[in-house]
Amino acid sequence: MSPTTSNAIEIEGLRKVYAGEGGAPEKEALKGLDLDIPQGSIFGLLGPNGAGKSTTINIMAGLVRKTAGKVRIWGFDQDRNPRQSRAAIGVMPQELNLDPFFTPAGALEVQAGLYGVPKRDRTTAEILDLVGLADKADAYARTLSGGMRRRLLLAKALVHHPRILVLDEPTAGVDIELRQMLWRNVRRLNEERGTTIILTTHYLEEAQEMCDEIAIIGDGALIARDRTENLLARLDGKTMVIVPEGEAPADVTVPEGVEVARRADGSLALTYSRAKVSAEALLDAMHRAGVAIRDVRTEEADLEDVFVALTHKD
Ligand code: ADP
Ligand code: MG
C-alpha cells in the first residue's frame, strides 16, 4: 500500500477526552481538530500551555489513545494500519524519560529492536554522530548532562529512519549551543533526507526562523494555519504606550487601523501594525490630539497577544 496523498499527516475531527483521575473532572483536550501537514515541510504547531499540542503529538505517535476522529500518517490510517503508520513517525517527547541503566548505544539498540529494525539496517554509530554523542556511546545515561539526554531522545526518535520526525518543545530550557545544534541537525534531515519535521515551541522567533508553515491551536481547536510569512504579516502588531502629562483628552483621533485602549493607570495603549503605520505617525496624531507626552514605550506582540488577537477576530 502506498499513500495517494502529498500530506505527511492528515487529522480529521480529532477529539480527546481525558478521564478525570482521583475525582478530577474530565478534560476535553481536543475538540474536533482538523489538520493536514504537507510532506517535506518543517511545520510548527504553536499554542499556549494546555492548548493540546502534546496531546495531538502523542496521539500521532500512538502514545495516547484518541477518543474520536481519524489520523492518517503517511497515508496510512492509524487504526487500520497501525504498524505502517507507527513506522513512518519518530517522536522526541517533551518529557525526559530515559532508562538510566542504558548507554546511548545500548538505548538505541533497544529502541531499534522495539521498532523491528533488522541488525543490518541499524545505523547506531551514524545516528550518535549526527546528534554529537559519538564519544558518549558507551557512557551510562545517568552520567549524561541534561543536554546530552535531550540529544539521546532525538537519536532514539531516529533509529527506524522515520519519514516524519516530531519534536515536542525540544528547546524549552535548553542552552543556546544545544538549541543551535538541534536546529542544524533537524534542517539537515529535512534537506538531505526530505524528512518531514513537525515541532512545537514556545518561542515565536524560533518558529519564524525554522518553519515553512504554522498551525496555531488554542483550547483544543485550530485557530489559524498558514504559511509562516502570511501568519507573521498578520502578527506584526506592536503596542505603543503613551503616558500623558495629566489626563489624556477624551477624544483622540488616530490613523486608520490603530486601536486605542485606555489603561487603568491613565496611559493610552495604541496597538498598530508596523507594516502599515509608523511610530512617527502615531506621535504626530498624539500631538494633534493635544496629548502632552510624559513618557513613551513600546511593547512587541508576543505569542500570547497573537492568540488574543486571533481568537477575538472571528
Ligand atoms: P500543550 O502541550 O499544548 O501544553 P497538552 O496536550 O499537554 O497541552 O494538554 C491539553 C490539556 O489536556 C490540558 O488542559 C492538560 O491539563 C490536559 N491533559 C494533558 N494530559 C492529561 C492527562 N494525562 N490527564 C488529564 N488531563 C490531561
Ligand atoms: Mg506540551
Give the CATH number for residue 280.
Answer: 3.30.70.250
Point out the ligand 1 atom lying closest to the alpha carbon of residue 24: 25
Mutational test site, ligand 1, from 15, 27, 91, max ligand atoms within 8 Å of CB: 27
Query: Do 159 and 303 lie in a common domain?
Result: no
Distance 24 CA to ligand 1 centre (A): 13
Domain limits at 286? 235-311
CA nearest 183: which of 160, 164, 207? 207
128-186 confidence digits (pLDDT tens): 998 889 999 999 877 888 888 888 999 999 999 999 999 998 887 778 888 888 899 89
CB 312 within 8 A of CB 260: no
Q: Do the domain assignments include residue 227? A: yes
* β-pair partners for 72: 10, 77
252-262 confidence digits (pLDDT tens): 899 988 999 99
Which amino acid residue places its CA nearest to atom 23 of ligand 1? 18
What's the number of domains the chain is made of?
2
d(CA 6, CA 246): 61
Domain end point (choices 189, 215, 232): 232
* Grid cell digits, residue 52: 493540546
**DSSP code, position 195:** -
For residue 301, CA distances in Å to 12, 51, 199 come to 31, 19, 22
Query: Do 110 and 240 lie in a common domain?
Result: no
* Angle at 251 (CA atoms; ends 248, 255), nearest 5 degrees: 105
Mutational test site, ligand 1, from 21, 31, 54, max ligand atoms within 8 Å of CB: 54
Which amino acid residue places its CA nearest to atom 26 of ligand 1? 18
Distance 278 CA to ligand 1 centre (A): 41
Which amino acid residue places its CA nearest to atom 19 of ligand 1? 55
Which amino acid residue places its CA nearest to atom 21 of ligand 1? 18
186-228 confidence digits (pLDDT tens): 999 999 999 999 999 877 778 888 999 999 998 999 989 988 8
Give the pocket of ligand 1 (CB within 6 Å): 18, 27, 29, 47, 49-55
In one-letter notation, the amino acid at residue 60 is M
d(CA 107, CA 41): 29
pLDDT at 312 over 60: no
Rounded to two decimals, the pTM is 0.79
Domain end point (choices 190, 205, 232): 232
* Angle at 62 (CA atoms; ends 151, 107), nearest 5 degrees: 35
Query: Do 113 and 86 lie in a common domain?
Result: yes
Q: Do the domain assignments include residue 1? A: no
Q: What number is the average pLDDT over the span 57-85?
A: 95
Q: What number is the average pLDDT over the span 241-249?
A: 91
Query: Do 223 and 75 lie in a common domain?
Result: yes
CA nearest 294: which of 248, 254, 236? 248
Query: Do 107 and 226 lie in a common domain?
Result: yes
Point out the ligand 1 atom lying closest to the alpha carbon of residue 52: 6
Q: How many CB atoms lie within 10 A of CB 191?
A: 11
Query: Do 24 and 42 lie in a common domain?
Result: yes
Number of DSSP helices (H) and strands (E) in the chain, helices first: 10, 14
**DSSP code, position 24:** P
What is residue 314's predicted lDDT score, i.e. its pLDDT? 44
Point out the ligand 1 atom lying closest to the alpha carbon of residue 16: 12
Cell 534542517, residue located: 187
d(CA 50, CA 32): 16
Query: Do 108 and 242 lie in a common domain?
Result: no
* β-pair partners for 36: 10
CB 270 within 8 A of CB 258: yes
Q: What number is the average pLDDT over the span 237-244?
A: 89
CB 201 within 8 A of CB 207: yes
Q: Do the domain assignments include residue 56? A: yes
Point out the ligand 1 atom lying closest to the alpha carbon of residue 58: 6
C-alpha 27, offset from chain centre: 22
**DSSP code, position 123:** -
% of residues, the chain, pLDDT over 90: 61
Distance 200 CA to ligand 1 centre (A): 14
Domain end point (choices 232, 249, 279): 232
Query: Do 212 and 138 lie in a common domain?
Result: yes
